[in-house]
Chain A
Amino acid sequence: MKEDKQTTYREAVREGIRNAMQKDDRVFLMGEYVGRYGGCFAVSKGLLEAFGNARIIDTPLCESAYTGAGIGAALNGMRPIVEIMTVNFSLLALDQIMNNAATLLHMSGGQFNVPLVIRMSTGGGKQLAAQHSHSLEGWYAHIPGLKVLTPATVQDAYSMIESALNDPDPVLIFENSLLYNSQGTLDTNAKPLPIKKAVVKRPGNDLTILAYGINLFKALDAAEILEKEAIDAEVIDLRALRPLDDETIMNSVKKTHRVMIVDEGWRSGSISAEIMARINEQAFFELDAAMGRVCSAEVPLPYAKHLEDAALPQPVKIAAMARQIMEDA
């Protein structure tokens, strides 16, 4: 694919899967509607025609069994990609993810690793209410044995597929459903960035904004607002929630001395709470002001648009939190 051509996030994921399947016979895709329907978000459209139904496998609605089957196939020499429609439905597979995928290597004393990739959509913003809108990637990041990736950019949507498949252990990829139509440039020849590296997306000197997934773009929008007020924000794309790139985070804190986090998860017990704790442990004396964060309101996400908008992180809320931190002497 030529550089600089605009590619959608959806196409990037698809091309990431296609590329991996072309390179390695052991890779296959399995999930609800991935084949004949073309994927519930049209991610896998055309892959059935390209690879056939032995490698693009439509499953019945049985999240636990097909996720567990992915684990079994991974144990037995394959490199499966399991697609779960949304993170909400992944709760029906939580037993397999947590009790098998995350534990087998350890319980077996290092004998059985699980090279499985699970992709699922996440996030709110489409008025889908309280059973289709939540952001539970922070929960998954609680679990030792898993890796949790949150590609925000088109390039990461593509290259994280390969990175995840190259990893010997289970990797979960969370794709914000609102990002599938977003566009960006894709270089299919670029060497994938290590998955555990966070990236400074916008260098700045006054305060650090840490974000991941779709909220990276909200943070960048907030930085634009702040720039007009002569506040120079540094925006970092975390890219992975487990492992967290402490080094990049602390380096930025040492530079700006002020920090805030944007997290679409609920505030209590969230990944943002974990990041704040780490900064407190590792860089407390670098801080010039109390840390801040913008999370989702602590409600099951409502349907009505004005309420949903109010519940989710938004650029104006991010900018307001940034101002508050800047005012803190």
Chain B
Amino acid sequence: MDIESARKFYSQMLLIRRFEEKCIELYSSRKIRGFLHLYIGEEAIAVGVMHALSAEDAVISTYREHGHALARGISAKSIMAEMYGKVEGCAGGRGGSMHLFDAKRRFYGGNAIVGGGLPLAVGMALADKMMKRDRVTVCLFGDGAVAEGEFHESLNLASLWQLPVLFICENNYYAMGTALEFSESEVNLSKKAAGYRINSFQVDGMDVTQVAESAKNAVEDIRSGKGPVFLECLTYRFRPHSMFDAELYRKKTEVNAWKDKGPLVTFKKTLEDKGLWSKIKAQEIEDEITKTIDDAVTFAENGTLEPISDLEKFVYSPEEAQ
């Protein structure tokens, strides 16, 4: 690994971590509201996967998508403004934390219906295949989605039609308060995808280099016409499901054990082993990120509230387009 990618991986993961820590603060001070699902602990997946994509590829995500959006290059400013419900937000304040969108970065949204994004990814990829475009659609979802019918319908179609989709299952072992073993008859989720004749792999989702490598190989295979790929990334969320979760269903010791092998800790260790840690200048990165986040908060604070007269905008396309 070169210093440049080491620096990029570390700073992107740290940006997501610090950004969300700021969100917790702002939530507590009631600056941001609605549901807030934090990605803390799972940063390596977003960073590794987005690294493997080109600008033309498309991303379909979930309600736990701040990390995906940041790693895809959507600015901290426009995401923070979205959380504030301001016009300058990446969805104009219409979406909030669970519905980040950015047409320029081909980010087709946080979808807050568990499993609801998978059929969309199939259709996006179908369009690319029909138009013979060299693009990949990445679809991210949690282990909970695997229990939904839309998961099975979509994997079947993607494989049947050999579509360019990269399925990323972020298996953090819990769907809200239900552990995987109480949800699934088969807890090795990649086996389910294999049942649809999809090339599928289990990946250590705490190791950004492993995620990046697997995603890169997957994207190459997909581009060369080998059909969809399924990566089950094993991970863990360090925080409660949302801001309304007493975490009655899991033990502190379990959470702490996972924290010890979290993505930032793991990556630091990798870099130390390779003698790269001192070279990435971690403190400089930390300082840059502090500034980025401060700027994002200022930007959001100073953003504009949409006039109520615009309330019914965007229900239909503008009259002239009809």
Contact = CB atoms under 8 A, between A and B. Distances in A.
Contacts of B149: 64
A31 to B, nearest CB: 13
B187 interface: no
A106 B96 CA distance: 12
Contacts of B315: 105-106, 144-145
Contacts of A28: 130
The residue in B108, B116, B119, B153 that gathers the most chain A C-beta atoms within 10 A of its C-beta is: B119
B119 A69 contact: yes
Contacts of B263: none
Contacts of A78: 126-127, 130-131
Contact of A68 (B94, B123, B156): B123
A242 to B, nearest CB: 10
Given A100-B111, A105-B314, A107-B95, A73 B123 contact: yes
Given A74-B123, A75-B123, A64 B153 contact: yes
B157 A66 contact: yes
Interface residues of A, number: 42
Nearest to A63: B153
B122 to A, nearest CB: 4
A99 B116 contact: yes
Contact of B124 (A76, A111, A145): A76
A100 B154 CA distance: 15
A38 interface: no
A70 B120 CA distance: 8
Contacts of A64: 119, 149-150, 153
A100 to B, nearest CB: 6
Contacts of A70: 123
B316 A109 contact: no
Interface string B103-132: 100001101010010111111111110110
Given A76-B128, A169-B317, A60 B156 contact: yes
Contacts of B60: 72
A168 B317 contact: yes
Given A64-B153, A68-B154, A72-B123, A107 B116 contact: no
A145 B316 CA distance: 6
A64 B118 CA distance: 10
Contacts of A106: 94, 314-315
A110 B150 contact: no
B94 A107 contact: yes
Given A62-B157, A68-B118, A144-B315, A107 B131 contact: no
Contacts of B48: none
A71 B123 CA distance: 7
Interface string B250-275: 00000000000000000000000000
Interface residues of B, number: 46
B94 to A, nearest CB: 5
Given A76-B128, A78-B127, A109-B94, A68 B120 contact: yes
A96 B101 contact: no
Nearest to B89: A109
A145 to B, nearest CB: 5
A162 interface: no
B230 to A, nearest CB: 16
A110 B118 contact: no
A250 interface: no
Nearest to A102: B315
A104 interface: yes
Contacts of B123: 68-76, 80
B322 A167 contact: yes
A105 B99 CA distance: 11
Nearest to B119: A68
A125 B5 CA distance: 67
A294 B208 CA distance: 64
Nearest to B312: A144
Nearest to A98: B113
A112 interface: yes
A189 interface: no
A298 B311 CA distance: 36
A50 interface: no
A119 B120 CA distance: 19
Contacts of A55: 130
A54 B314 CA distance: 33
B101 A109 contact: yes
A77 interface: yes
B321 interface: yes
Nearest to B82: A109
B228 interface: no
Given A109-B91, A111-B103, A65 B130 contact: no
Nearest to A55: B130
B40 interface: no
B136 interface: no
Interface in A39-60: 54-55, 59-60
Interface of B: 58, 60, 89-95, 99, 101-103, 108-109, 111, 113, 116, 118-128, 130-131, 137, 149-150, 153-154, 156-157, 160, 313-317, 321-322
Given A69-B126, A107-B95, A108-B103, 6 more contacts: A69-B119, A73-B123, A76-B124, A109-B89, A113-B321, A144-B315
19 contacts: A60-B153, A68-B116, A69-B119, A69-B122, A72-B120, A72-B137, A76-B127, A78-B127, A100-B113, A100-B116, A107-B91, A107-B99, A108-B94, A108-B95, A108-B99, A109-B92, A111-B101, A112-B103, A113-B317
